[in-house]
Amino acid sequence: MHLHYDRQMKTAVIPQVRVEPALRADLDSVLLPGETLTDFVEASVRRAVEFRRVQTDFAARCDASLAEYERTGIAIPSDVVLSKLEAKIAARVRQLRK
């Protein structure tokens, strides 16, 4: 994954991380052909940042949902929630099989 930087874009450096030689060897063994360690680290950091954002957003939705329940006393039954989730999963599985 190579990004094209605009001349006006300034870049920042991620600090070096010291690891055991065995971890470095494992990392080198999973690099794709033509992929650099820098490419791998950048992609990994981007995925981790996105995962943390998803976690934070999920926690915020949970907090809002709990606050709404505490305010109103109205909740959606678990069987309804699970049915909706199962329907979403089934739809996604069908989409991926195409």
Q: How far is 15 from 36, CA to CA, in rounded Å?
A: 17
Q: Which pLDDT does position 6 carry in this prediction? A: 60
Report domain extents, the chain. Answer: 21-97
Structure tokens at 21: 């030689």
Pick left, alpha or beta for residue 9 (phi over 0 → left; psi -120 to 50 → alpha; otherwise beta): beta
pTM (whole model) above 0.75 = no
Mean pLDDT by 10 residues, the chain (98 residues): 62 92 97 96 97 98 96 96 97 96
Scan for tokens 């678990």, then name that residue: 78
> Which two structure tokens, joined as six digits, stand for 94?
């069908």
pLDDT at 11: 86
**Given its phi and psi angles, is residue 34 left (phi above 0), alpha (psi -120 to 50 degrees) or beta?**
left
Q: What is the pLDDT of residue 2?
A: 55
pLDDT at res. 10: 79
Can you tell me the distance from the alpha carbon of 55 to that of 13, in angstroms, rounded to the nearest whole number?
25
